[in-house]
């Protein structure tokens, strides 16, 4: 199933457009940004380790769309297996956030736009390198920040 690149972050944009949900206190906003940044750093480390569960950051494991990669849709129930297959084809993977903008929506939700540098070596020894921009939606559940959905667009070289 393919969806347009513009459709993936619609939920996030709709939430941001509702002024009544935007946090008003800088202290709460800073706490949200810090918590989401920690969750994003944890996911980046898991991606570099080729750890599907960690890369998904606690995303739903049902039929919910949890990741859209350049138009390819992954649902929660299938994403761990799909990422495992992808990671098995690699012998090395480095994933680093280069820049991120985290927008708190409430004290329990945030949207992040982030740019990443990605380098890998596949099982044939071929090296690859990309950069991509992500839109990620996070929700705090039981005190921890969990990714709800993410969308990635590979940037032109």
Looking at residue 132, which CATH number applies to its domain?
3.10.450.50
Average pLDDT over residues 101-126: 97
Q: 107 lies in a domain? A: yes
User: What pTM was estimated for this model as a whole?
Assistant: 0.83
Q: 1 lies in a domain? A: no
Q: 105 lies in a domain? A: yes
Q: 112 lies in a domain? A: yes
CA–CA dist 37, 19 (Å, integer): 23
Q: How many domains does the chain have?
A: 1
Q: 25 lies in a domain? A: yes
Q: 19 lies in a domain? A: yes
pLDDT at residue 1 tops 90: no
- Whether residue 156 contacts residue 137, with contact meaning beta carbons closer than 8 Å, is answered with no
Closest to 93 measured CA to CA, from 118, 124, 120, 116: 120
Token pair listed for 63: 């039929």
Could you read off the pLDDT of 54-83 as tens digits, one per residue?
999 999 999 999 999 999 999 999 999 999
Q: 2 lies in a domain? A: no
Q: 54 lies in a domain? A: yes
Confidence band for 132, pLDDT divided at 50, 70 and 90: very high
pLDDT at residue 23 tops 60: no
Query: Mean pLDDT in the chain?
Result: 88
Confidence band for 88, pLDDT divided at 50, 70 and 90: very high
Give residue 9's pLDDT: 53
Domain range for residue 130? 10-154
Give residue 26's pLDDT: 52
């Amino acid at each position: 199933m393919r969806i347009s690149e513009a459709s993936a972050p619609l939920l996030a944009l709709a939430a941001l457009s509702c002024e009544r949900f935007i946090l008003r206190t800088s202290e709460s906003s800073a706490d949200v940004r810090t918590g989401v940044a920690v969750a994003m750093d944890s996911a980046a480390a898991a991606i570099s380790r080729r750890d599907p569960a960690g890369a998904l950051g606690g995303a739903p494991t049902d039929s919910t769309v949890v990741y859209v990669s350049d138009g390819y849709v992954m649902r929660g129930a299938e994403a761990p297996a799909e990422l495992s297959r992808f990671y098995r084809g690699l012998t090395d993977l480095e994933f680093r956030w280069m820049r991120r903008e985290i927008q708190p929506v409430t004290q329990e939700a945030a949207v992040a736009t982030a740019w990443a540098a990605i380098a890998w070596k596949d099982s044939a020894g071929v090296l690859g390198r990309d950069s991509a921009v992500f839109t990620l939606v996070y929700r705090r559940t039981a005190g921890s920040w969990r990714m709800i959905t993410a969308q990635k667009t590979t940037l032109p070289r």
